[in-house]
Amino acid sequence: MSSPSLTLPSPGPAAARKRRLLEILGAVAIAGTYVYLVLNQPTDITGGPGSASALIALSGFLVGAVLLIVAVLPTLPASTVVLIPVALVLNIVLGQFVGSTLVPFYLDAIGTVLIAVLAGPAAGAATGALSSIVWSFFNPTVLPFAAGAALIGCLAGLAARHGMFRRFYLAPVAGFVTGIIGGVVSAPVAAFVFGGTSGVATGAIVSAFRSMGDTLLAAITKQALISDPMDKAIVFTVVAVLVYALPRRTRLQFPFIRRHRVLAGQASNEARTQAAAATTGSPAQPTGQGS
């Protein structure tokens, strides 16, 4: 890589393997933490300070999220890296707009899901985790939710990859399912790190379940199951509206969209195969390099 060559070498398999390993480690850390917390929770909340589980939740999820970022971020092309700050700003600005005018939900993942649809699950996961980390600059309490946000981004990318954005009515369904998974995984953070939720309204719902004698984790998980799926269904719908409003040329500049035909009605057959050849043909063969 030290020659001022005008062309790029094709990416080697070693880098991909290292990245895959880190991704798996990150996912294992998150999943392991969740399983551990769910299995161990009943004793912890009542007895003692409960901060051991807080620390496990914090460190497990954070380490997982950081591993994902370390795995994914350096491998993303500049065009995606530059989009991430845009996504974070959209998370904040659009979330605020919708949140303030439309409905009482968080809607703080519009940008994350948008990137996931445009650039794929890995970019989505990194964006989600980074969104929490950068946002914790102003509000440190969102930091522990990095893993959950990464999961949302990853699932949104997978949904896009498997054609859930090709039909307009499928997007909210995918959002709903993503919300269920994301909510369940984030619940232990709320339960063990914060001992509750960060809003008064959601707090009231948790209280209701608690009054029926649920454990804190169960109550928060149920609360998350009430609000998160709806929230993510709206977010996915908003993102579907936005991506379909993009002009074709802008959409097609994203290899992920071209390769997996993420959106409906975009390609004539011939052009599609051409585009696919142009992007998937990774071992770029120089047809001739004069002089």
* CA atoms of 251 and 258, how far apart (whole Å): 8
* CA atoms of 86 and 274, how far apart (whole Å): 30
Supply the angle between the helices 78-101 and 110-119 in degrees, to the nearest 10.
140
Nearer to other proteins, 178 or 223 (CB): 223
Q: What's the closest the beta carbon of residue 197 comes to other proteins, in angstroms? A: 6
**C-beta of residue 159 within 8 angstroms of C-beta of residue 20:** no
Q: What's the closest the beta carbon of residue 184 comes to other proteins, in angstroms? A: 19
Nearer to other proteins, 181 or 237 (CB): 237
Site for other proteins in 12-41 (CB under 8 A): none
Q: Is 99 in the site for other proteins (CB under 8 A)?
A: no
Q: What's the closest the beta carbon of residue 130 comes to other proteins, in angstroms? A: 5
* CA atoms of 34 and 98, how far apart (whole Å): 31
Q: Is 2 in the site for other proteins (CB under 8 A)?
A: yes
* CA atoms of 41 and 8, how far apart (whole Å): 51
Nearer to other proteins, 142 or 185 (CB): 142
Start-to-end Cα distance in the chain: 20
Site for other proteins in 125-144 (CB under 8 A): 130, 133-134, 136-141
* CA atoms of 160 and 223, how far apart (whole Å): 27
Site for other proteins in 143-172 (CB under 8 A): none
Q: What's the closest the beta carbon of residue 182 comes to other proteins, in angstroms? A: 20
Q: Applying CB under 8 A, what is the total number of residues that bind other proteins?
A: 111
Cα 216–chain centre separation: 26
Q: What's the closest the beta carbon of residue 87 comes to other proteins, in angstroms? A: 9
Q: What's the closest the beta carbon of residue 109 comes to other proteins, in angstroms? A: 14
Site for other proteins in 188-207 (CB under 8 A): 194-200, 202-204, 206-207
Nearer to other proteins, 28 or 139 (CB): 139
Q: DSSP letters of 13-72? A: HHHHHHHHHHHHHHHHHHHHHHHHHHHHHHHHHHSS--HHHHHHHHHHHHHHHHHHHHHH
Q: Is 52 in the site for other proteins (CB under 8 A)?
A: yes
Q: Tokens for 250, please give them.
A: 């802008």
Q: Is 269 in the site for other proteins (CB under 8 A)?
A: no
Nearer to other proteins, 181 or 210 (CB): 210
* CA atoms of 167 and 180, how far apart (whole Å): 21
From the list 38, 170, 230, 252, which residue makes contact with other proteins (rule: CB under 8 A)?
252
From the list 12, 13, 39, 290, which residue makes contact with other proteins (rule: CB under 8 A)?
290
Q: Is 210 in the site for other proteins (CB under 8 A)?
A: yes
Nearer to other proteins, 176 or 194 (CB): 194
Q: DSSP letters of 107-145? A: ---HHHHHHHHHH-HHHHHHHHHHHHHHHTTT-GGGGGG
**C-beta of residue 189 within 8 angstroms of C-beta of residue 61:** yes
Site for other proteins in 55-94 (CB under 8 A): 55-56, 58-59, 69-70, 73-74, 76-79, 81-86, 88-90, 92-94
